[in-house]
Structure 1
Amino acid sequence: MLERYGHGGDLRTAEETFGFPARQFIDFSSNMNPFGPPDGVRRALVHYAEQIDRYPDPAVRGLRTKLAQLHRVDEQSILIGNGAAELIDLVVRALRPAVTALAYPCFTEYGDAVMKTGGSITPIMLSADNDFVLNSSMIDSEADFYMIGSPNNPTGQLVDPALIMKLLYNGATVVVDEAFMDFVPEEESYTLLREAASHERLFVIRSMTKFYAVPGIRLGYMVGAPHKISELRRLQVPWSVNSLAQEIGEAVLEEKEYASRTMNWLLEERPWLIGKLEALGFRVIPGKVNYLLVRLPDIPGLTAAGLQHEMGRMGILIRDASHFIGLDESYCRFAVKLRHQNEWLLEALDRSLSKFREAATR
């Protein structure tokens, strides 16, 4: 399976499995901006050659200042990390919740972080009948700690901020993973980033690698009350954020035209791709971001693993979503890419489905 290490985008495993060099794959299994890194990243790389012999700023002050200005929060409420994954692990390790509520399906690293600290998990099972939307009627738990993805991975669904504020009002601590929030046109209506800057039991985590297509540079940040962020910073590994990541982080925040172009593309391409997938017989979960969770057409013998293998033989990688708790072998996840790439995806899907239909009639 391609998800050997629990993630999409594993081109090394794809090479070993299908025998193509990495550059020949079209990767729909990871959810990066298909425009690739903005021009500022390339300029930062050239400039970085002149300072690679220097230590990075241990306090990441330049990037923290820019993020504070962007989000209109206190610099002391921001902690920069080696990707969102480090910050997920760090906040759980620091707070060590006894019982954590997770709404499944969700990002697997939430549960991994909890188990590493010896905590237990109370599951909230989201329903396909409700398009995997989390609502207040599902919150019936003794947990006092919640980890919530908004937009959720793999469903793409947003969580009503009022629900999270209700959890806080009732005394819970909540970590909201907003790694894909940059792709949401209505971001200001859903983000809780500014609320987190002044609430001691709310933490919001953001990624900088997905929207700006720099996953090889591990970079993310967390917002919380300043005294809580200070406690987390003391537990963070020294030199967690290298100087190249810091420079790239500062550079991409200046890329306003790139951000605008990305949002315009997604507003057009996402509904177009949904329509085409539905025409092929897929049921598409109506999320809000740059990836689509889909239920496979009802074809005897068709599974997510089987479709992934057939597509991989054609050089196209998709995510087998059955590895997410709460989903079965009938679910896959596709990234939304540029039109010509999406057309290749659709053509390969059509050919693959035809093979499964033919096999079912023999």
Structure 2
Amino acid sequence: MEREPDPPHREPDLRHHGDAEVRGADGPLTGLADLAVNVRTGTPPAWLKARIAASLDGLAAYPDGRAARRAVAARHRLPVGRVLLTAGAAEAFVLIARAVRARRPVVVHPQFTEPEAALRDAGHDVARVLLTEADGFRLDPAAVPADADLVVVGNPTNPTSVLHPAAALERLARPGRTLVVDEAFMDAVPGERESLAGRVGELPGLIVLRSLTKTWGLAGLRIGYVLAAEDTVDALERAQPLWPVSTPALAAAEACCEPAALTEAAAAAEEIAGDRAHLLARLGEFAPLRAVGPAAGPFVLVRLPGAAAVRAGLRARGFAVRRGDTFPGLGPDWLRLAVRDRSTTDRLVAALADVLAEQPLG
């Protein structure tokens, strides 16, 4: 008997993001509990909305980012010259792809796909280091090719929720290499343990990216920042258009770096950790569903047979969850679930039980 040909290889859709799960042809869908997007619910808080609204009186003037830049620098105890404000962390990936010279860029997957997409759009030939479920999606620095001169890794990683030890990431830094650590979700980790933000300017080639859109509910405002050595910041800034960050976004950046805001974010991180533990415990009621752990981000990655049909069944019952097959290294049996309050989790679990009663896991 002739062997049937292998199915054609399908490249993951690097441009698919969680917001696609909650959008229809005419805009956002109503009536769906959103577990597909990792923005914290109940945000932005009223005090932050007021600060942003107050900035609107200054819209006639061109944006001036000096105060916000100083606030970010003070928040991380870094010189102002090591800070660059960006229109979300996503803009930073584009700037890096355009401004950083690299002969062999490597992206550690599975992770947020925008860094690779930006590098490819800029004409780079990108290599992948694929972490595996068997190793808990944990990074072995030795897996990264020695000749890689640009390495991109997330910490904690989206979508696996794995928090890599800072010591492991430090082993990737070396002269002649740019090491990009995407810490977009680090402020959701209690104590921001394993962050490398404080090592910027010390470790050779280190670039740390941060986002303010997740914890503070500012995805529509687009605000993030780069922490890097002064010469790297200068190079990235030259690749930016004039006035890339709006006045309201600058006001938000300054406000979110104030001591009271940092205290609020720290409390939110502790609350997320408790809600995540509840979610993982409830998911543990379903075998052979497997969750990647220990999880450290405001989301969890789960594997279960027939995930696409399960996702559709949950959607029919009012829950949007993120497909996993668009992340390199994952496949059709993976889903990502955002951490929500315990009541929402319990309703999700009831819906999941209904779906699996109709379609038992294999």
TM-score, length of structure 1 as denominator length: 0.89
Ranges in structure 1 where 5+ consecutive residues have no aligned partner: none
Aligned match of 2:298? 290
Deviates more, 1:256-265 or 1:285-294: 256-265
Alpha-carbon displacement from aligned partner over 1:135-154 (angstroms, at most 9, x marks no partner): 13423453221011111111
1:123 counterpart SS class: strand
Deviates more, 1:337-346 or 1:70-79: 337-346
CA distance in 1 between partners of 2:131 and 2:157 (Å):
11
Match of 2:173 among 168, 173, 180: 168
Distance in 1 between residues matched to 2:213 and 2:201, nearest whole Å: 22
Q: In the alignment, what sits opposite 1:270?
A: 276
Contact 2:209 2:225 in 1 (8 A): yes
> Is the CA contact (8 Å cut-off) linking 2:188 and 2:265 kept in structure 1?
no
Aligned residues: 346
Counterpart for residue 336 of structure 1: 339
Question: How far apart are the structure 1 equivalents of 2:56 and 2:123?
Answer: 43
- Report whether the alignment pairs 1:153 with 2:161: no
1:249 aligns with 2:253: yes
Runs of 5+ consecutive residues of structure 2 not aligned to the other structure: 1-12
Which is worse superposed, 277-286 or 173-182?
277-286
Query: Which of 88, 98, 102 matches 1:93?
Result: 98
Farther off after superposition, 205-214 or 33-42: 33-42
Aligned residue for 1:22?
29
- Corresponding residue number in structure 2 for 1:36: 43
Which residue pairs with 1:138 in the alignment? 143
Aligned residue runs from structure 1 range 93-132, under 5 A: 93-132=98-137
Specify the code of the residue in structure 1 equivalent to 2:166.
P
Whole-angstrom CA distance in 2 between matches of 1:130 and 1:4: 24
Which sits farther off after the overlay, 145-154 or 337-346?
337-346
Q: How far did 1:170 drift?
A: 6.1
Contact 1:101 1:147 (C-alpha < 8 Å) held by counterparts: yes
Q: CA deviation at 1:252?
A: 2.4
Say which SS state the counterpart of residue 318 (structure 1) adopts. strand
Measured in 2, the distance between the counterparts of 1:136 and 1:20 equals 42
- Mark the CA change 1:334 to 1:217 in structure 2 (over 3 Å): closer, same or farther: same
In structure 2, C-alpha distance between the alignment counterparts of 1:49 and 1:118, rounded to whole Å: 39
Match of 1:237 in 2: 241
Distance 1:205 1:244 in 2: 20
In 2, distance between residues paired with 1:95 and 1:246? 25
Partner of 1:54: 61
Scaled by the length of structure 2, what TM-score is found? 0.89
Quick check: 2:14–2:113 contact (8 Å CA) kept in 1? no
Aligned to 1:10: 20
State the SS of the aligned residue for 1:120: coil
The secondary structure found in structure 1 opposite 2:332 is: coil
Letter of the 2:96 partner, please give it: V
Structure 1 SS opposite 2:73:
helix
Checking the alignment, whether the CA contact within 8 Å between 2:187 and 2:266 is kept in structure 1 is: no
RMSD (Å) for aligned C-alpha atoms: 2.1
- Conserved? CA contact 1:9–1:27, under 8 Å: no
Counterpart check, 1:224 vs 2:232: no
Residue in 1 that maps onto 2:348: 345
Would the alpha carbon gap of residues 96 and 117 (structure 1) be closer, same or farther in structure 2, given more than 3 Å must change?
Answer: farther
Q: Which amino acid aligns with 2:99?
A: A
Shift of the alpha carbon at 1:68? 1.0
Identity of aligned residues (%): 29
Secondary structure (helix, strand or coil) at the match of 1:357 reads coil
- Rounded to whole Å, the distance in 1 between the matches of 2:270 and 2:153 is 27
Distance, in Å, in 2 between the alignment partners of 1:69 and 1:212 is 19
The residue aligned with 2:7 is none
In the TM superposition, what is the alpha-carbon distance from 1:50 to its structure 2 partner?
A: 2.2
Structure 1 contact 285–294 (Cα < 8 Å) conserved: yes
State the secondary structure of the residue aligned to 2:190: coil
- The residue identity in structure 2 corresponding to 1:294 is V
Counterpart of 1:10, as a letter, is A
Aligned to 1:279: 285
State whether structure 2 residue 310 is matched by structure 1 residue 307: yes
Contact 1:199 1:224 in 2 (8 A): no
Structure 1 pair 271/124, CA: closer, same or farther in 2 (3 Å)? Answer: same
Residues in 1 aligned to 2:208 and 2:187: alpha-carbon distance in whole angstroms: 13
Give the conservation status (yes or no) of the 8 Å contact 1:40–1:252: no
Displacement, 1:42? 1.8
Work out whether residues 68 and 74 of structure 1, in 8 Å CA contact, stay in contact via their aligned partners in 2.
Answer: yes
Q: Distance in 2 between matches of 1:199 and 1:136?
A: 15
Shift of 1:111: 1.1
Q: Offset of 1:129 from its aligned partner? A: 0.8
The correspondence for 1:191, drawn from 191, 195, 214, is: 195
Amino acid at match of 2:152: M
How far does residue 169 in structure 1 lie from its aligned partner after superposition? 3.1
